[in-house]
Amino acid sequence: MSGSAMADDAYQPTGDSGEQADGTPLDLQDAIDERTYDDMLDEGYSPPEKPLGVTKHGTTAAEQQAGESLEDRLAQEVPDVAEAEGDGIGDLAGGEGEPLDSEVGGDRAGRLVAPDEGAHGDTTKELTAQDRGIDGGAASAEEAAVHVIGDEQDYLSEDDGLNEYDVATGEGGPVSA
C-alpha cells in the first residue's frame, strides 16, 4: 500500500457536525457578561471638563518636526515637594492635632461582660457591658480601643451583680467604644 491510499482511508470530519457549530465565536448579544451595542449607545459620553493637551508643545506636525527645547521641557517639570513631618500630636501635616473629646476616657477597659453575662437575648437597643477587669491574655486591638467613660448618669442597677468594692473603685462601671 502506498501512502496516498492510507490517506484516503483516514477519517475526515464533515462540516455538518454539531461540535463544529459550538466552536464558532459568540456573538456580542449572546455573551452573558458583555454589554450589548445598544447599551453602549444608551450610556452616552461625558467629555472632560477641560481640553487635554491642546496647549502643549508637539500637537502640530511642525512642532513635532522641530522638537522641543530643553528649557521648555524643564519648565514643564513639577518639583518634588517633601511632605512635612507631623507635629507629634496628631501626626497630620498641617492638621490641628487630635481633637479633645469629652466622651473618650483615659482608662482602658478590661474584659467586657454583658449585664446578664450573655445568658439571655438582648432586649435593649443599646449595647451595654460591664468592665470585669483585665483578663489573663493580651487584649485584641478592638478590646484595647474601648475606654471607660466617667459619666454623671448611673447606668448600674442593683441586680448587676457588682459588689460594693466595684462600685466604690469604679471598676465594673459602664464603658463605651
Examine residue 137 and state whether it is found in any structural domain, yes or no. yes
pTM: 0.25
Q: Which residues are within 8 A (CB) of 49 and not within 5 positions of it... i.e. 6 or more apart? A: none
Using an 8 Å Cβ cutoff, are 110 and 132 in contact? Answer: yes
Examine residue 151 and state whether it is found in any structural domain, yes or no. yes
What is the Cα 50 distance to its own chain's centre?
30
Q: Which domain holds residue 172?
A: 105-177
The 10s digit of each residue's pLDDT in 6-48 is 566 777 766 665 555 566 666 655 666 666 667 777 777 788 8
pLDDT at 156: 44
Residue 62: pLDDT band (50, 70, 90) is very high
Examine residue 4 and state whether it is found in any structural domain, yes or no. no
Examine residue 81 and state whether it is found in any structural domain, yes or no. no
Using an 8 Å Cβ cutoff, are 175 and 112 in contact? Answer: yes
Examine residue 49 and state whether it is found in any structural domain, yes or no. no
Q: Report how many domains make up the chain.
A: 1
The 10s digit of each residue's pLDDT in 66-125 is 999 999 989 888 888 876 665 555 566 666 655 556 656 677 777 777 777 767 777 777
Examine residue 21 and state whether it is found in any structural domain, yes or no. no
Of the two residues 45 and 2, the one the predictor is more confident about is: 45
Whats the size of the chain, residue-wise?
177
